[in-house]
Amino acid sequence: MFQLFPLPYQGHINPMSSPSTTAARGRCVPPPALPLPPDASLHPHYHFVPVHDGGARPAAASPDTVHATVEHILALNRACEAPFRELLAAVLDDNAGGSVACLVADAHLLTLLDVARELGVPTLALCTGSAACFGCFTAFPMLCDKGYLPAQDTSQLDAPVVELPPYRVGDLPAARSPAAHGRTREVLRRAVTAVAASSGLILNTFDALEHAELAALRRDLTVPVFDVGPLHMLSPPAAASASASTSCLLRPDRGCLEWLDAQAPASVLYVSFGSLAVMSAADLVETAWGIASSGRPFLWVLRPGIVRGGAPSPSPPHLPDGFDAATRGRGAVVRWAPQEEVLAHDAVGAFWTHCGWNSTLEAVCAGVPMLCSPCFGDQMGNARYVDNVWRVGVELDGSELERGKVAAAIAAVMDDGGGEPGATGGMRRRTLEMKRRAAESIGVGGSSVLNVDMLASLIQSL
Ligand code: UDX
């Protein structure tokens, strides 16, 4: 038996709750305070045990998401330490210490990884971001020593990070949130230490996507690195659909799939900024009018709470007057979508995304080009890879949205560069090639399948 412990954010729960994360049976300690607790009947191989979090809650729409998220992660670690210690000790007593093979925990659950090791339980750390992102974590002290961080002013944000191409300073963790620098440094130092003291690092990525970045991690870390992604594709279709929808913090609106059925192939712009990203009220207005004036059919996920500073409300924010009339018959707006199925739908031609790692990977695997509006954390780095390295999308310029630029960028991605010579042409071809390579990685003899086998052998040997 092993134990799983995800961080209570959508982008961290999804990879951890993939039935193939460990390809085995286990006890899952679900994240505390989930609005929709996991439906145990759909996960018969798991025994769910709640752990009290002392009231620590995921960050609400805050003026500084990085700061709020880092503080929440630290609060959660403090609050869960004692209850988790009690729970694990009881499980070890029950089984005379014999049958817990290991704890698989999110790399940000620092205290829980420490507790498990103190009680003699081996650990595996799951990092839900890219290999490049974890490379940034390990390089963080060097980046501070070289003066890249904390960034002194906004003029420094566009400077290249010579040691970590293609990153720019503004792509580094907390570079745009100076107030969060100290706490981010603490969390990352502890996460890297926890990984180094674990039995291995599990990453939701695949070799063909991040070959050089994985090689660099294997060179720099003393523990084995298992690239087992894309995790959402490793599950059989029925299990994947059940897993994706039952691990959602909001109930997906499946009606949008029928709406997509009625649209022409590759005609629809899918717009979603994940579970945490927030925007200003002004940006929401520019987003709406940019979508409207693009003239394209669209499916827009408008999450309650997406507008920064708005009063907490279970309803999505209001769209500008005239938006419905301007887009009548051309769009669908939902609170939450079954994203993996949406991206796999023939009607979807492009994805306007915040570049959370799961969204990025899901788009790559579905062969859907991206328009990138990264907000915080690893998203800027992910967008840099999408735009500059894999060249399967373009980043929307500017920190503030402007409807004319939005409409032009939507056209560029939907038309794959509009046939003009330039950086954007060929995106769809490259994305489809990456989709093929993602499928190869999880096919017979594929790199991720081999890594899952090695991971399973390691767990059995612990
Ligand atoms: C967070 C961070 O923001 C992200 O940068 C980090 O890489 C992981 O943790 P989140 O913002 O939620 O995650 O983004 P993302 O990683 O893209 O995960 C969102 C998940 O929610 C995806 O698996 C996506 O399929 C799912 N989703 C999103 C839905 O199922 N429906 C939706 O309507 C929107």
Please tell me the distance from the alpha carbon of residue 317 to that of residue 335, in angstroms, as a whole number: 10
pTM comes to 0.92
Structure tokens belonging to residue 193: 């230490």
**55 Cα–ligand 1 center, Å:** 23
Which of 275, 335, 357, 364 is the best mutation target for the ligand 1 pocket, counting ligand atoms within 8 Å of the beta carbon and taking the most? 275
Interface predicted TM-score (ipTM) of this complex, two decimals: 0.98
- List the chain pLDDT tens, one digit each, 462 residues: 666 777 777 777 777 766 444 443 445 454 444 444 566 777 777 778 888 877 776 655 566 788 888 998 999 899 999 999 999 999 888 866 567 889 999 999 999 999 999 999 999 999 999 999 999 999 999 999 999 999 988 999 999 999 999 999 999 989 988 889 999 999 999 999 999 999 999 999 999 999 999 999 999 999 999 999 999 998 655 455 555 555 566 789 999 999 999 999 999 999 999 998 889 999 999 999 999 999 999 999 999 989 987 777 788 899 999 999 999 999 999 999 999 999 999 999 999 999 999 999 999 999 999 999 999 999 999 999 999 999 999 999 777 899 999 999 999 999 986 544 445 569 999 999 999 999 999 999 999 999 999 999 999 898
Q: Which residue has the tokens 């995106």?
A: 427
Query: Is the CB of residue 128 below 6 angstroms from any atom belonging to ligand 1?
Result: yes
Burial of 147 (0-12, 13-18, 19+ CB in 10 A): exposed
Protein residue closest via CA to atom 1 of ligand 1: 11
Residue 93 CB partners (closer than 8 Å, separation 6+): none
**231 Cα–ligand 1 center, Å:** 14
**121 Cα–ligand 1 center, Å:** 30
The answer to whether 396 touches 406, Cβ cutoff 8 Å, is yes
Query: Is the CB of residue 359 below 6 angstroms from any atom belonging to ligand 1?
Result: yes
Query: Is the CB of residue 378 below 6 angstroms from any atom belonging to ligand 1?
Result: yes
Query: Is the CB of residue 275 below 6 angstroms from any atom belonging to ligand 1?
Result: yes
Angle between helices 211-220 and 131-145 (to 10 degrees): 60
Which of 17, 177, 358, 368 is the best mutation target for the ligand 1 pocket, counting ligand atoms within 8 Å of the beta carbon and taking the most? 358
**376 Cα–ligand 1 center, Å:** 13
Which of 130, 303, 359 is the best mutation target for the ligand 1 pocket, counting ligand atoms within 8 Å of the beta carbon and taking the most? 359
Q: What is the three-class DSSP state of 299?
A: strand
